[in-house]
A = this chain, B = another copy of it.
Amino acid sequence: MAKPSKREQIVYAAMDLFYQEGFHATGIEKIREKAGVSKKTLYNHFRSKDELMLATLRKREELFMSGFTRKVEQPDTSSRERLAMVFDALDEWFQEKGFYGCMFINASAEFSDLDDPCYKLCAEHKQLVHDYIKDLAEQAGVGDPDELSTQLNLLIEGAIVQAHTCNDKTAAMRAKKMGKVFIEQALP
């Protein structure tokens, strides 16, 4: 694989640290060290810590969505099946060693102001996931795809919190079982 650019090194280091230890708790010096670059290089690529946080969240969004859709869109599966497989994708995620909840939920815990750029990005992320599942529902022929997507997303968020805050790694399968009720209700 091609060696990553300095910018990528920085973003990936920041992502790990922000995710595991939080945004305010992570200092620039720590990121610089983990990225293996000089402070000057870091500030050549990002004007401030705030800008780096935003770039990191955008990268996270990109990585999450590509991984998520790849797991959901297994070959030879119907859209209806894929609606339920959303929870299998979650389950895979929860079992990972470095699972510390949803980075966007975590970020919006630290940046609660509605006008904060980080908070806005978190809301955008949730909207993108909603739109994706809504599309799946639409393709499956659901009558009110928006409602089903909102319901399934509520289950997703609930599962993430139980997996993280309660350290309950079975939450995804519980949510799947619950989700199936609403999928069947919407697609009799």
Inter-chain CA distance A154–B177, complex, in Å, is 12
Contacts known (A153-B162, A178-B151); A110 close to B112, Cβ less than 8 A: no
Which of B101, B126, B155, B162 is the one whose CB lies under 8 Å from A109? B101
Inter-chain CA distance A105–B106, complex, in Å, is 8
Q: CB of A63 within 8 A of chain B?
A: no
What residues on B are CB-neighbors of A162 within 8 Å? 126, 150, 153-154, 157
What residues on B are CB-neighbors of A25 within 8 Å? 24, 110
Contacts known (A157-B158, A166-B127); A112 close to B122, Cβ less than 8 A: no
How many monomers of this chain does the complex have? 2
Contact with B along A16-48 (1 / 0, CB 8 A): 000011101100000000000000000000000
Closest to A164 in B: B108
Asked whether A154 lies within 8 Å of B153 as measured between CB atoms, the reply is: no
Report the minimal beta-carbon distance from A25 to chain B, rounded to whole angstroms.
Answer: 5
Asked whether B108 lies within 8 Å of A112 as measured between CB atoms, the reply is: no
Contacts known (A24-B22, A154-B171); A109 close to B112, Cβ less than 8 A: no
Further 19 A-B residue pairs, CB within 8 A, beyond A22-B111, A155-B158, A181-B181: A22-B112, A24-B25, A101-B108, A105-B105, A105-B109, A106-B110, A108-B164, A110-B110, A126-B165, A126-B166, A127-B166, A150-B174, A153-B162, A154-B162, A155-B155, A156-B158, A157-B165, A158-B158, A181-B182
